[in-house]
Structure formats: structure tokens, C-alpha cells
Amino acid sequence: MQSPHVLAIPYPAQGHVIPLLELMQCLARHGVKITFVNTEFNQERVANALSRKDDIGDHIHLISIPDGLEAGDDRNDVLKLMETISQFMPGKLVELIEKINESGDKITCIIADQVVGWALEIAEKMHIRRAAFWPAAATLLGLSISIPKLLDDGIIDDNGTPRKNQMVQLSPTMPAISTAHFPWACFEGLTAQKKIYELALRNNKAAEGLDWLVCNSIYELEPAVFELFPSILPLGPLLANNRLGNSGGYFWQEDSTCLEWLDQQEANSVIYIAFGSSTVLDQTQFQELARGLEQTNRPFLWVVRPNITEETDNAYPKGFKDRIATRGRMVCWAPQQKVLGHPSVACFLSHCGWNSTIEGISNGIPFLCWPYFVDQFLNQSYITDVWKVGLNLNQDESGIIKQAEIKEKVEQLLLDKGFKARAMDLKQVAAKNVKEGGRSRTNLNNFIEWVKA
Ligand code: UDP
């Protein structure tokens, strides 16, 4: 019998690479050989960030193909990236699979991010078993699968454009989603929206009728969605801690000295601030945030990615670094999963990316929400309105989140013990799910069996 050999391919963005690689670590522990396909651009970053560690096990082979963009192109331009890779990468992927198959170590299964539906199309054409992985909230996938219903109900037109701004509920027990936050409607300009909408349709079609459509969520976080769309199976939280390992696939080298710094802080005292991998703050907002953190008079650990604002060297308010030196720490990239599991961390000021959301939830950390884009608004409404484990930071009339708002919300969040208590309840739910007998664990075990069969 052919031994199991999975080819895994993420959408080439940080928040997609980390959880898919984590899922592959779970498979690899069960003896499955993995070929994990990054773009050349990301592969170089992952390799550089990994240079000091050995976080990718022997069973996982990282391999790369070009993404079709030029070296200097902006890979945070989602439309350009999605369009280019869907035209350029399929041919490269077919060549890669043929080459691997010729070597005798045949690919037995392709696990692709749902967002790269073209990889699922290739698997079908090449008669290779396939499964789709969804790294965001299941609700968002449910929304995308519901496009025909949104059309029938007259909520969107044939181009996916919402006919009016309204709140939409897919089922009475699901949170309402603003049409303005439909993933394809968040892009600027009708042409861009239409293109993203068409790519979403293509991805939905590619994932139709699959045996496995798995996601990094937890049943209890989005029960109505899992009831409404039983084909979506939660495996989460997919976190390195569950297998007592380190997570890999980072694009930046983590600064783990901040863990030692956290060791020196009081329990439950530190504000952790991180905006994921691609959010950019303008200079005014960056300075306002710095001042807000200063005003809280609390210890804080702030991830200031090299590209978080146009000019990080002179970005801070004058004298800021000296004034906060004894209680503030800035790092380029934190070992976030470990930071959130550290007893000194009191709350998480987050852009509400899904990975950050799941990681905060799994560690019982209350949130201050600062969503920017696409699904982050939906995640924020889960955090603040459904699970009630956080507060939203509100912009003033000029669109800025002011320092006073930051200080006030930090106080409010940390004074009201209800937020922490509810967050700790969710932590238990997450832990129960990944223990033997838990729902996510059972789904994962069944999935692994399927992959190995
Ligand atoms: N992350 C990290 N260190 C940092 C900032 C982020 O390890 O300093 C990780 C974080 O743990 C998460 C991912 O990067 O797994 C970001 O994914 P998310 O979905 O939250 O946001 P995105 O980057 O997709 O906007």
C-alpha cells in the first residue's frame, strides 16, 4: 500500500500558513509525510525566521514555487495576490506534483486552503484525494457558502454588491453581519469587489461536496454555524501548545526575550498589543496608541512589526521610549502563542484576526478590539457581543482611536472581573475540545484516519 503523503498548500499569508502548518504537524506526528508548499517569497522568510530553531519536524518537507509576482510587489495587496497566484501557481503546482509522483513517493492527498480553490481543482483533475482547510471563523465560510441564498433573498446583486447597507442573519441564533463587512464587499471599488466575489464563487465550487472541510474553530464558539453547515468540521484550537511543541511558519524571527521580561512582571498585569501580520497604522494613530499605552500606567508588551507604520524609527512620540522604559517593551515579532499563555498577561489589544482570536480565547485572555479589515469585524462582534469577553475601541469623529479611549477601555476591561471569568470559561471549553474524547479531537482523529486510509 502507498504510504500516506500529503501535499499541503496554504494561501500565502501569515495567518493562513501558521494554522495549516500546525495541522500538518498533527498529521506528521501520526507518521504522515508532508510536503508543505510555500511561495518562494514566503519560503525565504520562513527559512530565515527558522534559522535558529528546529520547529519543523523530519516528516515535514518545506518546498516552494513562485507566486508570479515581482520581487518588489506589494503582497499585502490581496486582490493582486489572489489574482496573480490563481493564474500563475496552478501550472507550477501541477509540475511539482508530477515531479514528486515520478520520484515514486506519490502524493496521496492534497490539503489546500479553501481560499486557493484552484489547488482543489487540480487535485480533482489529477484524481488525488483532497480536503479543504479554512483558517478563519466558520461563520465567514458559512456566509460564503450562502451566496446563492443571499442572491435569492435580494441581499446582493449578481456582482455580489450588497443592494443596501443592512445587517444580515443567516440563522436566528447567528450574529448579524453587516453587508459592508461581507469579505468581498470590503475592497475598494466595484471592479475589485466583483473580482474577489468571483474568486469566492470559484473557491466555493471547488470545495463543493468534499468529504472534509475542516476549520480552526471550536463547536461551542459558533454552534449555530456548525448546525446550519454540518459539512464544516471544527478541529480547533490548532495550537502548538496542544502537542507541547513550538509553532512554525513565522515570517519574522520571534524575539523570545520578551518571555523573560514577562517573567519579571506581576501576574495578570501586562497589556499585550499586536495587530497580526499585515495591519498598518498611520503615523497619527500610531502615536495616539503610544500615548494611550503610556497613560494606562500599566506594563505593556507591544509588537511593533517593521512595517506596521511608514516610519518606525521616528514613529514614537518624543521621549516616549525613555518615559516607558521601566514598564514597556516593544518587539518586532513576539512568540504570541506563548505570550498569551503567560500568567503575567492581563489583556490583549488585538486587531481580531481569527488566529489571534482563537489564541486569546484558548488562554482565557480578555480582549480590547481594534478590527481593521474583512473578517476582523465579525470576530470582534463575537468577542464583544456574543462571548462577551472583550470591549471594542471606538474611533472619534475623525476616525482615530484616541489615547483617552484606550486608557478608559483598559481600565473598564480590567476592573470588571466578568470579562476575565467568561474568558476563563471559554479557555476550559477550548481545552476540553482538544482532550481525548473532545469534539475537535475526535474530528481531528477521524480526519487523520481518513488521510492515512
Ligand atoms: N503572531 C505572532 N507574533 C506576533 C504577531 C502575530 O506569532 O508578534 C502570530 C499570531 O500568533 C497569529 C498570526 O501571527 O497566529 C496572525 O494571524 P491573525 O489571523 O491573528 O492575523 P493576520 O496576520 O492574518 O491579520
According to DSSP, residue 429 is labeled H
* 353 Cβ below 6 A of ligand 1: yes
Q: Are strands 5-9 and 129-134 parallel, antiparallel or unpaired?
A: unpaired
* 275 Cβ below 6 A of ligand 1: no
Burial class (CB in 10 A: 0-12, 13-18, 19+), 169: exposed
User: pLDDT tens, 51-89?
Assistant: 555 667 778 999 999 999 999 999 989 999 999 999 999
11 within 8 A of 118, measured Cβ to Cβ: no
Which of the listed residues 16, 17, 18 should we mutate to test ligand 1's pocket, taking the one with most ligand atoms within 8 A of CB? Answer: 18
Q: Which atom of ligand 1 is nearest to the CA of 13?
A: 24
Tell me the CA–centroid distance for residue 19 and ligand 1, in Å. 10
β partners of residue 300? 271, 328
Take residue 198 and report the three cell numbers written for it: 468571483
Distance in angstroms (rounded) separating the CA atoms of residues 335 and 345: 13
* 354 Cβ below 6 A of ligand 1: yes
Distance in angstroms (rounded) separating the CA atoms of residues 302 and 293: 9
**pLDDT given at position 112:** 98
* 276 Cβ below 6 A of ligand 1: yes
**pLDDT given at position 312:** 63
Nearest to 393 by CA among 289, 295, 283: 289
Instruction: Pick the residue whose CA is nearest to atom 25 on ligand 1.
Output: 276
User: pLDDT tens, 10-24?
Assistant: 999 999 999 999 999
Confidence bin at 231 (pLDDT 50/70/90): very high
Confidence bin at 313 (pLDDT 50/70/90): low
**At residue 131, does pLDDT exceed 90?**
yes
> For 403, phi and psi rounded to 5 degrees?
-60, -40
Distance in angstroms (rounded) separating the CA atoms of residues 162 and 144: 13
**pLDDT given at position 174:** 85
Nearest to 328 by CA among 289, 303, 299: 299
Confidence bin at 415 (pLDDT 50/70/90): very high
AA letter at 4: P
* 333 Cβ below 6 A of ligand 1: yes
User: pLDDT tens, 257-292?
Assistant: 999 999 999 999 999 999 999 999 999 999 999 999
State the CB neighbour count (10 A cutoff) for residue 50: 16
Which of the listed residues 46, 133, 251, 277 should we mutate to test ligand 1's pocket, taking the one with most ligand atoms within 8 A of CB? Answer: 277
Q: Which atom of ligand 1 is nearest to the CA of 352?
A: 20
**pLDDT given at position 54:** 62
* 336 Cβ below 6 A of ligand 1: yes
* 350 Cβ below 6 A of ligand 1: no
Which of the listed residues 355, 359, 362, 370 should we mutate to test ligand 1's pocket, taking the one with most ligand atoms within 8 A of CB? Answer: 355
Distance in angstroms (rounded) separating the CA atoms of residues 361 and 428: 9
Take residue 317 and report the three cell numbers written for it: 512620540
* 367 Cβ below 6 A of ligand 1: no
**At residue 108, does pLDDT exceed 90?**
yes
Distance in angstroms (rounded) separating the CA atoms of residues 425 and 220: 11
Confidence bin at 4 (pLDDT 50/70/90): very high
Tell me the CA–centroid distance for residue 156 and ligand 1, in Å. 32
Tell me the CA–centroid distance for residue 155 and ligand 1, in Å. 33
* 114 Cβ below 6 A of ligand 1: no
- Residue that is written with C-alpha cell 453587508 in the block: 179
Q: How far from the centroid of its chain's Cα atoms is residue 168's Cα?
A: 23
Tell me the CA–centroid distance for residue 157 and ligand 1, in Å. 34
**At residue 335, does pLDDT exceed 90?**
yes
Tell me the CA–centroid distance for residue 150 and ligand 1, in Å. 31
Average pLDDT over residues 295-300: 97
Instruction: Pick the residue whose CA is nearest to atom 7 on ligand 1.
Output: 336
Average pLDDT over residues 81-110: 96
Q: In the chain, what percentage of residues exceed pLDDT 70? A: 98
Q: Is 276 helix (H, G, I), strand (E, B) or coil?
A: coil
Tell me the CA–centroid distance for residue 334 and ligand 1, in Å. 9
User: pLDDT tens, 360-400?
Assistant: 999 999 999 999 988 999 999 999 999 999 999 999 999 99
Q: Is 397 helix (H, G, I), strand (E, B) or coil?
A: coil
> For 124, phi and psi rounded to 5 degrees?
-65, -45
393 within 8 A of 369, measured Cβ to Cβ: yes
Tell me the CA–centroid distance for residue 277 and ligand 1, in Å. 6
**pLDDT given at position 172:** 84
AA letter at 193: Q
According to DSSP, residue 176 is labeled P
**pLDDT given at position 245:** 85
More confident call, 121 vs 171:
121
CATH superfamily of 5-245+433-452: Glycogen Phosphorylase B; (3.40.50.2000)
* 392 Cβ below 6 A of ligand 1: no
Take residue 211 and report the three cell numbers written for it: 468529504
- Residue that is written with C-alpha cell 495616539 in the block: 288
According to CATH, the topology of domain 257-430 is Rossmann fold (3.40.50)
> For 88, phi and psi rounded to 5 degrees?
-95, -40
**pLDDT given at position 239:** 97
Average pLDDT, the chain: 95
User: pLDDT tens, 169-192?
Assistant: 998 888 899 999 999 998 889 999
Domain ranges of the chain: 5-245+433-452, 257-430
Confidence bin at 244 (pLDDT 50/70/90): confident
Average pLDDT over residues 132-155: 96
Q: Which atom of ligand 1 is nearest to the CA of 279?
A: 25
**At residue 314, does pLDDT exceed 80?**
no
**pLDDT given at position 53:** 56
Average pLDDT over residues 149-161: 95
List, as one string, the DSSP characters of 326-337.
TTEEEESS--HH
Nearest to 262 by CA among 361, 364, 331: 331
Q: Are strands 5-9 and 33-39 parallel, antiparallel or unpaired?
A: parallel
Tell me the CA–centroid distance for residue 356 and ligand 1, in Å. 6
Q: Which atom of ligand 1 is nearest to the CA of 16?
A: 24
* 247 Cβ below 6 A of ligand 1: no
